[in-house]
Amino acid sequence: MNTQRFLLKSGTIPLLLVLGLIPHALAHEAGFSEAQSHGLISLNVPATFIVPAWFLAQSGAQTQKTHLSQRPTLPDTLPQKPESNFQKPKTAAVFERFSPKVAVRWDAHFLYVETNGLPSHNMMEGITNWQQQVPLPQKYTAGNAWRIPLHPQPAAKPVSIKGRFLRGAVALAVNGIPIFNPQNNRGEISADIGELDQWGGHCGRADDYHYHSAPLHLQSTAGPGHPIAYALDGYPMFGLTEPTGQQPTELDSFNGHESPELGYHYHASPKYPYVNGGFHGVVVEKEGQVDPQPRAQPVREALKGLRGAKIISFESTGKNTYKLGYELNAEKRAVLYSTNTDDTVTFEFQNGRDGTTRETYTAKPGNGGARENTPPPPGPQARQNGPDGQPPAPPRPTNQYDSNAPAHGGSLLAALPRSADFILRSSDVQIGGELPTEYTGDGAGSTLPLQWTGAPTGTKSYALVMHHVDPEGKTKWYWILYNIPPTVQSLAKNSRNIGILGSSFRGHIGYEPPHSKGPGAKTYVLTLFAISRPLEITLPAVKVDFDTVMTAMKGSILAAADLSVVHTRTGNGVEDPPPPRPRPQKEPKLGSPPVPAPPPPPNVAR
């Protein structure tokens, strides 16, 4: 529908006719269905709303266009919104304790929470695994505000967040700061690998500050007996104790339980899952996150980790100006930056013996931000892995299959088509569950039994890839099996003679059982592709790697289904060498029967 954004001029349009258009206009603008829109709209006439262009033309109304690129500067404190015609919900009270940094409004169904994304407490100090992002104000306001259901509904099938919902927030702290999954988008627990500051937070790819663990420090401000957060399904999250001060009992796997006084509610914990371990209530999952939720606005390209850096200080040095101090190779360095009234952000990188550089970034609608000066001077990111003074190799071009692409539910295959009906399972492990030892390098190295359903019409073959993204952002693949016949709907444990094997990241043909480095949980993702044709790959099996298969499938993938598993291993941080491999067998040509082979040793794909 052709629409225009305008400010209502008194007397130009009959008010009742305008009110009749508001629910439909706002529903289209926000992306809601017509059925959803009826319960979401307040009777208060908004200052800015959407009406059809044909209506403006016929009415002769005077309009004032507002372009999305003309983004007003967000003040340090937010103005309080006028009260709604609906009764004030109890949920609003705990957020209002953090006013004026946090503003709330509501309708019959949701509490809307507005904030600039920066907490009152300090940030970033203590991080030892830094991605070179810094806290910038975000515009979580108006149509981009957080929303909390006022009447949460129990889900018919509650879902765990382990290995799932790895993008976006799963809860909102009562100070207006989003809480993400304890696992980062690579599936690692952020608290275990030095990514978090002493308040449990860090900055994401859009320089957006958020928590990955429960903000227990908010309890004193929220008040005893009050929640410290609300999950995005609408259920409250309390601290380590009940409002009475007693320890919670009979918690479910999501850290939640029900009581006569509070109904269902979650509790924070000092260890995994730290926050709500899943959603007891109804949520909508889309592209690996709860939908809808606000979007952070990046002003620059996301950077990579700066190995060896430790953040030692963070402070506000004036209005809208900040300084982040860090140590690298026993040398103190700093990033100074300021947000400006013209919607730009100016950075000064004090790189120690490497000198000082300055850059200015301007947010561009629809992308990740652009540098104003071209080409930019070398900043600290140009030396992130160069303690010897040599710059790293230039980055390779990115595409939808690039290993540095954002994760989809723990998978790097973010741009692939998904189907709610196409599901990959295993009889031996649940999604996000611990991979049994017999399927790892610490056991027999058997291949996992898999089953799938709901393949789309037109599927002519399947391909299977198992991969993991390590803490350095490198992608490793452990199992490639392609040209699985379309009639096959499962692979048995140690399955043989089905499909054609490719190589692992080490160059070995067949299944490479995970040998995790050191202690801690690592996430591995098995992805099954439904393809519209058999793959025409003529390379020898030892050269059929991840990129080869992805390139061969390009343009022919009908749907993809993921199964995330976790391997937790104790050790001394030294990766075991892989066991010896037999000489590879000659692979069959496309369409030919498999070549008989003697039984392989336990750690070879069957």
Cα 246 to its chain centre, rounded Å, is 34
CA–CA separation, 208 vs 201, rounded Å? Answer: 10
Q: Give the pLDDT mean for 450-476.
A: 88
Q: How many residues does the chain have?
A: 606
- In the chain, the number of structural domains is 4
pLDDT band at 517 (very low <50, low <70, confident <90, very high): low
Average pLDDT, the chain: 76
The whole-number pLDDT of residue 520 equals: 67
3-state SS assignment for residue 414: coil
- The answer to whether residues 252 and 338 belong to one domain is no
Burial 112-129 (b: 16+ CB within 10 A, else e): bbbbbbbbeeebbbebeb
Establish if 392 belongs to a structural domain: no
Same structural domain, 466 and 510: yes
366 shares a domain with 323: yes
Reported confidence tier of residue 5, pLDDT bands at 50, 70, 90: very low
**442 assigned to some structural domain:** yes
Query: Does 275 map to a domain?
Result: yes
Please give the DSSP secondary-structure letter assigned to residue 120: S
- Do 141 and 185 sit in the same domain of this protein? yes
* 110 shares its domain with 148: yes
Q: Are residues 41 and 98 in the same domain?
A: no
Could you tell me the pTM of the whole model?
Answer: 0.53
Q: What is the CATH number of the domain that holds 556?
A: 3.90.280.10
Residues 25 and 125 in one domain: no
Asked whether residue 76 is domain-assigned, the answer is no
Same-domain status, 211 and 337: no
In the predicted model, is pLDDT for residue 342 greater than 80?
yes
Residue type for 377, please? Answer: P
- Which pLDDT score, from 0 to 100, does residue 148 have? 97
Of 290, 324, 339, the residue that ends a domain is 290
CA of residue 247 relative to chain centroid, distance: 32
Whether 605 shows a pLDDT value over 70: the answer reads no
Q: For residue 142, give the nearest of 33, 229, 26, 62 by alpha carbon.
A: 26
Contacts of 324 (CB under 8 A, 6+ apart): 124, 134, 311, 313, 314, 334, 335, 336
Task: State the pairing for strand pair 278-281/154-160.
Answer: antiparallel
Query: What pLDDT is stored for residue 518 in this prediction?
Result: 60
Residue 406 counted as domain residue = no
For residue 474, the model assigns a pLDDT of 78
Which structural domain, as residue segments, surrounds residue 50?
A: 3-59
Whether residue 139 has pLDDT greater than 90: yes
> In terms of Cα–Cα distance, which of 328, 342, 335, 334 is closest to 386?
328
Of the two residues 516 and 164, the one the predictor is more confident about is 164
Q: Are 216 and 268 in contact (CB under 8 A)?
A: yes
Residues 6+ apart with CB under 8 A from 421: 453, 454, 456
Quick one: average pLDDT of 362-376?
44
Is it the case that residue 524 has pLDDT exceeding 60?
yes
Distance, in Å, from the CA atom of 42 to the CA atom of 35, rounded to the nearest integer, reads 15
Q: Cis peptide leading into 154, omega within 30 of 0?
A: no
Same domain, 255 and 143: yes
User: Is 85 a domain residue?
Assistant: no
Last residue of a domain, one of 255, 290, 325: 290
pLDDT digits (tens, 9 = 90+) for 480-508: 999 999 999 999 999 989 999 999 998 99
In a domain, 402, yes or no: no
Q: Do residue 122 and residue 240 come from a single domain?
A: yes
pLDDT tens string 238-268: 999 999 999 999 999 999 999 999 999 999 9
101 and 240 in a single domain? The answer is yes
Query: Is the same domain home to 353 and 442?
Result: no
Residue 298 lies in a domain: no
Domain end position, chosen among 242, 260, 290: 290
